Structure 1
Amino acid sequence: MKNSYWILSSEEKKNYESLNRDINADYLIVGGGIAGLTTAYLLAKENKKVIIVEADEVGFGTSGRNTGKVTSQHGLIYSTIQKEYSSEKARLYYDANEEGLKLIENIIKENNIDCNFKTVPSFVYTEEDRYIKDIKKEYEICKELNIPCEYMNYIEGIPMSIKGALCFKNQGQFNPKKYVDALGKINQKMGVKIYENTPVVDVNIDEECLIKCGNNNVIRAKNLIIASCNAWYDGLRFFFAKEEASRSYLLCGELKDEISEGNYISVEMPTRTFRTCKDDKERNLLIAGGYDHKTGKCDNECDNFRAIEAFAKENFHLKEIIADWSSQDYISSDNIPYIGRINNEKNNVYIITGTSKWGLSNSSVGAILIKDLITKNKSKYEDLYNPSRLKSYLNVKFLENNVEVAIDYIKGKFISGSSELPNKDEGKRVSINGKRYGAYRDKNNHLYIVDITCTHLGCELRFNSGEKTWDCPCHGSRFSYKGEVLNGPALRPLKAYDEGKNKIDPKIL
C-alpha cells in the first residue's frame, strides 16, 4: 500500500516486539490505532493492567491515513440524527464528539506531544445552489440544539465559488501519526504492553476470552476490547452486515499561495475534503481527498487518484504533489458508531467500530465510553452508541446494502477468469485448469497467484489497481497481492496457487 504523508513525515516511530509466547491479560485491546491506544491510556490511568496487540504496526491503519481533522462538525449529521432519533440524541452526539476533541487536546497538552495540533474552524460547504437549503436546514437544527455555529454565504480566502457554508469554530487538526506514535510511547511508560505484527486469527468467548494469534500463541483475557476498525468478532450482532466498507483517496501537495486555515468538506457528491497545514520546513501544505466509494466497487482506483489531483490543481496553486494514498473506513447504517458492550450476554467484551469517516473524534469518544463502562458500569453515551440498537438495522440503508451483498456474492461465482496471465504491474482473475484464481505480476516480473475467494464469507475478490490489492465487494476485507490480510472482517490470509482452497471460517459467528 502507498504510505500517507503522515506516515512519511513521522520518522520517530518506535518498534514494538511481536508476541512470541502465551500470555494472560486482564484487559486485552485488539488494535493499535487511536481507538485502542486512547482506551489503553484511560484504563492505565485507572490502574488497569492492559495489553495491546496490533496486526500490523501502530498507527499504520486508518489512524495514520486520514485527513487529520478533529471535529464535531460531521457534515449534515445533526439533521440526520434528529430525523432518525431525536433532538436529544443529536445534541448528545455533539456533546460526545466535543468531549472527544477536548480529550485529544488535553492529552497533547498534558504530555507535551509534538503533533502539529492547531485550533481551526470546520466548514461544511457547497458550490451548488441546490444544496444551500440542506446546509441552511442543518444550521437551523444546530441553532435549535444550542450548538454554536455560523451560516456563511461565502468563505473569504478560499479560491472556490462557495455558495453557502456552515461553520463550527474552535475545532482541531493535527498530524495523526505523530499523535498515535507519541501515545504509544506514553502508554508503554504507564505499563501498557504493546505487541506489533501480532494478528488475531481465532477467538473463543466463554467466561474467559481465548484469542489465538497468527504465530499460534494464545492470549487468555478476562476482558476483550475490539478496537481494530472493523468487527472481526461480533457476538452475533452481525456488524459486518450493518456496516459499509468505504474507500477514499487523499493527497498532500505544497501550495504556492496560502489559503484560509480550516477543515473543509463538501455536501455534494463526490465528496471533496481539504485542509491546510505546515510541515517542519514551514512549507504550506494542502491535504485534499474524497471520491469515496464502497470497497471493491470501483473499476479503476487509479482514476480516483487522478480525480483528486485534478480537483486540487484546478482550485489551488500547487508546486508539487508530495504524497498520495487511500484509506478505508467503516460506516454504520445510521451513521452513528457502534461502541459499548458487544451484546447483553457478554459483559466482558467491548467494541469500537463503524466510526463513519470521523474516527479521530469518535474513537476518542469510544475510549471514554468503554472506560466508563469498565470503571463505573455506566456511561451517559451508552444508549446513543449502543451496538445492539434496533434502528441501526431496521432501516432502508441496511436492507439495500445487504440485498446488494447478496447480488455481489452470486454474480462473483459466475465471473470467469482470463486464459492469459497478467502483464507487468497488472492484476486480474485468471482460469488455471478450470479453476479461478487471482494473479498479479509485479514490476520485476514476479508472478503471484492466490485463491481469491474471501476467507470471511466466501465472496469473490476484485483487484484494486490503485493499491495492488484484492478487495471484497461484500464486506470490505482486503488482501495484499501475496494474500496477506490488510483489512477485516476476514482473519485468515489467502492461500497461494499450490496451497489448495481457502477456508471459509467466519469465527464472528
Structure 2
Amino acid sequence: MNKSLWISSSEGNKYRVLDEDKRVECLIVGGGIVGITTAYLLCKEGYKPVVVDADYIGYGATGRNTGKITPQNGIKYSDIYKRYGAENAKKYYEANNEALKLIEKIIDENKIDCDYERAPAYIYAENKSDSKKVLKEFDICKEIGINCEFIMDIPLPIESYGAIKFNVGAQFNPKKYIDYLARKVEELGGEIYEKAPMKSIDKYKDIITVHSLGGYEIKTDKLIIASHYPFYDGLSFYFARLRPERSYVVAGEYNGEFPQATFINASTPKRSLRIYNDGERRLLLVAGESHKVAHKEDEDHYGALEEYGKEKFGVEKYQYRWSTQDYITSDNVPYIGYLNSVTKNILVATGFGKWGMSNGTVAGIILSQLYINGKSKYLSTFTPSRSEGYLTGEFLKENTDVGIQYIMGKVKIASKDMPDRDKGKIVSIDKSKFGVYRDAEDIFHIVDTTCTHMGCELKWNPLEKSWDCPCHGSRFGIDGEILEGPATVPLKQYGSETYNEINPNLI
C-alpha cells in the first residue's frame, strides 16, 4: 500500500466539516502550504480568513513531496535569464530566499518541532552532455548574486561531471510544519473547514458566491484560489497553460554516510536525494521518475527508484512509497497573483513545477501582500497575466498533445472482456464505454470514464489504482470520487440514469 512518510508521521488536527452557508470577507480555497501560509500571514495582521479544503489539511502535494526548501530549483535561472532578463532571474531567487527565511523565522518563533535543519543544495551533471548546462547555470547564478560555488565532485558515491552547490537551503517534515501552522491560524481567529470541495462560483457586482459540492455556498468579498490547480478559470485558460506531471518518492532506512545536504541531478531520468532523521530512524529518500499524467501508467516507477537506491547506496528495504502531482507552466515560472488582468478580487497561485515548499511560501508572501496592500515587489515576475508565457514551444507542444489525447480516447475501441482481479480497464457495456476495476474481493467498481472537466477519456493507473486524465491531469478513485483537479464533479457510477456532468468552470 502506497503511503507518504510525512502524512504517516503527523496526524494533525481534525477540523470542522462545512454544514451551512457562510458570509465572509476572505475565503481561501486550499489547505496546503499556499493556503495555510497565506492565512497565517493574514491572521498575523489582524484579518480573519476562512480556509476550506477538499480533503484534510496537508494531505495534498504538501504532504507528498520531498521536504526540500531551497532556491535551487533545478536548471532554472539560466532559463529565466534567457526569457526575461537578469532582473527577473534575480527577483525569482530573492523571492525563494525570502521564503526560506520566512519558514525558518516561523519555526524559530513558534518552536515548531518539524525536524528542520539547514542543508546546502547540490545540482550535478551525471554525464558530460549535461556539464555545459550546469556550468552555464552557475555563471548566471553568480551574475545575479546567488551564494553558490562550482565543484567537480559531489560528496556521494555518484560520478559527477560538475555541480553547483547552493550554500542556502534547508529540509524539514512539511506535514508537521503545516499542521502546526493550521492550529495557529485558528488560535489567531481564522476558520478552517475540511472535506469541503468547491464546485463553482458566481459573481454579482463585488460579491463572489462559491458553491460547494455538498450544496452549501460561501459569499465572500475576496477569493484566494490556493487549490493547487485553479478550480475556477475565469476565461484565463489555465487549462492550456499548465502541464500536469506525477513524480514518485521511496524511502528506506539507511545508516551509511550521507552529508546534511540535498541533491538533484540535471539529467533525465530525474533523481532527487536527501536524508530524513526523525530522531529514531534515518531514512534515505529517492525521488524522481516524472512524467505527464496518464502517459506512462504501465511503467514501474517505484521499482526504478528502489533499484537506484539499492545500486548507489545499498538500500534493500523501503518502508514508504508515495507519489505527488504538480503543474508546470509553459515558461517554468509559477503563476502567482491576480486571476487575470481584469479581475482584482480573485487571487491565484499554481504551477510550482515541483518546488512547492519554497514557491508555495513565495505564494503566501505575494498573496497576503496583494490582499493587504494591493502590491508586491515580486508580482511582475510571477504575475499570471504575463503574455510571454504563452509564446513557447512547450505551450504549443502541450496543447497539441492534449488534442491528440482527446481524439485517441474517443476513437479507441473498448474491450469486451472484464479485467482480472485487482486490475482495471475500459470495457464496452450496453454499447457504451465504462471504466471497470475488479478488486481483490471480486467486486466490480464501474464508472463513466469521460472526464468531468473537459470531456477527455480517462486511463487506468495501475500504480495508484485510479482513473487519470491524459489531457489536464484530473484523477478519480475507483468509485468516481475526485482525487486531483481540475475536475470539480465526481464520475457517475454504472447504473446512473445520466452521463457525467462536464463542468470546465471557464466562466
- Using the size of structure 1 for normalisation, the TM-score is 0.98
Q: Does 1:393 align with 2:400?
A: no
Q: Does 1:265 align with 2:264?
A: yes
Partner in structure 1 of residue 31 of structure 2 = 32
Deviation per CA, 1:272-298: give whole Å up to 9, x if none: 1110121231x2211111010000111
Q: Which whole-Å CA distance do the structure 1 matches of 2:316 and 2:473 have between them?
A: 35
Of 443, 449, 461 in structure 1, the residue corresponding to residue 446 of structure 2 is 449
Deviation at 1:370, TM superposition (A): 1.1
Q: Which whole-Å CA distance do the structure 2 matches of 1:327 and 1:371 have between them?
A: 26
8 Å Cα contact 2:123/2:164 also seen in 1: yes
Of stretches 117-126 and 314-323 in structure 1, the one that deviates more from structure 2 is 314-323
Partner in structure 2 of residue 297 of structure 1 = 295
Deviation at 1:256, TM superposition (A): 3.3
**What residue identity is the alignment partner of 1:434?**
K
8 Å Cα contact 1:37/1:187 also seen in 2: yes
Q: Does 1:368 align with 2:355?
A: no
Q: Which whole-Å CA distance do the structure 2 matches of 1:49 and 1:260 have between them?
A: 42
Q: Show the 5 A alignment for 1:214-253.
A: 214-253=213-252
Deviation at 1:319, TM superposition (A): 5.0
Secondary structure class of the residue paired with 1:21: coil
Partner in structure 2 of residue 309 of structure 1 = 306
Q: Which whole-Å CA distance do the structure 1 matches of 2:223 and 2:409 have between them?
A: 35
Q: Which whole-Å CA distance do the structure 2 matches of 1:39 and 1:33 have between them?
A: 10
Of 198, 202, 205 in structure 1, the residue corresponding to residue 203 of structure 2 is 205
Deviation at 1:258, TM superposition (A): 2.4
8 Å Cα contact 1:422/1:440 also seen in 2: yes
Deviation at 1:210, TM superposition (A): 0.6
Q: Does 1:116 align with 2:112?
A: no
Partner in structure 1 of residue 469 of structure 2 = 472
8 Å Cα contact 1:52/1:193 also seen in 2: yes
Partner in structure 2 of residue 279 of structure 1 = 278
Partner in structure 2 of residue 501 of structure 1 = 499
8 Å Cα contact 2:254/2:315 also seen in 1: yes
Q: Which whole-Å CA distance do the structure 1 matches of 2:190 and 2:262 have between them?
A: 33
**What residue identity is the alignment partner of 1:458?**
G
Partner in structure 2 of residue 41 of structure 1 = 40
Deviation at 1:254, TM superposition (A): 0.4
Partner in structure 2 of residue 129 of structure 1 = 128
**What residue identity is the alignment partner of 1:386?**
T
Of 409, 421, 424 in structure 2, the residue corresponding to residue 412 of structure 1 is 409
Q: Which whole-Å CA distance do the structure 1 matches of 2:191 and 2:413 have between them?
A: 47
Q: Show the 5 A alignment for 1:373-384.
A: 373-384=370-381
Secondary structure class of the residue paired with 2:317: strand
Q: Which whole-Å CA distance do the structure 1 matches of 2:488 and 2:8 have between them?
A: 27
Unaligned segments of structure 1, at least 5 residues? none
8 Å Cα contact 1:258/1:284 also seen in 2: no
Partner in structure 2 of residue 5 of structure 1 = 5
Q: Which whole-Å CA distance do the structure 2 matches of 1:202 and 1:130 have between them?
A: 48
Secondary structure class of the residue paired with 1:449: strand
8 Å Cα contact 2:34/2:363 also seen in 1: yes
Deviation at 1:147, TM superposition (A): 1.2
Deviation at 1:466, TM superposition (A): 0.3
Deviation per CA, 1:209-249: give whole Å up to 9, x if none: 11111210110011100001101212211111101000001
**What residue identity is the alignment partner of 2:406?**
Y
Deviation per CA, 1:6-63: give whole Å up to 9, x if none: 111114x110111000001111000000000000001111111200000000000000
Q: Which whole-Å CA distance do the structure 2 matches of 1:502 and 1:86 have between them?
A: 46
Q: Which whole-Å CA distance do the structure 2 matches of 1:294 and 1:387 have between them?
A: 22
Secondary structure class of the residue paired with 2:324: strand
Q: Which whole-Å CA distance do the structure 1 matches of 2:254 and 2:394 have between them?
A: 39
Q: Which whole-Å CA distance do the structure 2 matches of 1:144 and 1:498 have between them?
A: 63
8 Å Cα contact 1:70/1:360 also seen in 2: yes
8 Å Cα contact 1:249/1:326 also seen in 2: yes
Partner in structure 2 of residue 159 of structure 1 = 157
8 Å Cα contact 2:96/2:359 also seen in 1: yes
Unaligned segments of structure 2, at least 5 residues? none
**What residue identity is the alignment partner of 1:449?**
I
Q: Indicate how the Cα distance of structure 1 residues 465 and 198 shifts in structure 2: closer, same or farther if over 3 A, else same.
A: same
8 Å Cα contact 1:373/1:379 also seen in 2: yes
Q: Which whole-Å CA distance do the structure 1 matches of 2:423 and 2:102 have between them?
A: 45
8 Å Cα contact 1:255/1:319 also seen in 2: no
Deviation at 1:421, TM superposition (A): 1.1
Of 326, 330, 352 in structure 2, the residue corresponding to residue 329 of structure 1 is 326
Secondary structure class of the residue paired with 2:120: strand
Secondary structure class of the residue paired with 2:409: helix
Of stretches 498-507 and 475-484 in structure 1, the one that deviates more from structure 2 is 498-507
Q: Which whole-Å CA distance do the structure 2 matches of 1:491 and 1:98 have between them?
A: 34
Partner in structure 1 of residue 194 of structure 2 = 196
8 Å Cα contact 2:138/2:164 also seen in 1: yes
Structure 1 consecutive aligned stretches of length 4 or more whose deviation exceeds 6 Å: none
- Using the size of structure 2 for normalisation, the TM-score is 0.98
8 Å Cα contact 1:256/1:318 also seen in 2: no
Partner in structure 2 of residue 171 of structure 1 = 169
Of stretches 188-197 and 251-260 in structure 1, the one that deviates more from structure 2 is 251-260
8 Å Cα contact 2:198/2:231 also seen in 1: no
Q: Which whole-Å CA distance do the structure 2 matches of 1:357 and 1:271 have between them?
A: 12
Deviation at 1:320, TM superposition (A): 2.2
Deviation at 1:161, TM superposition (A): 1.3
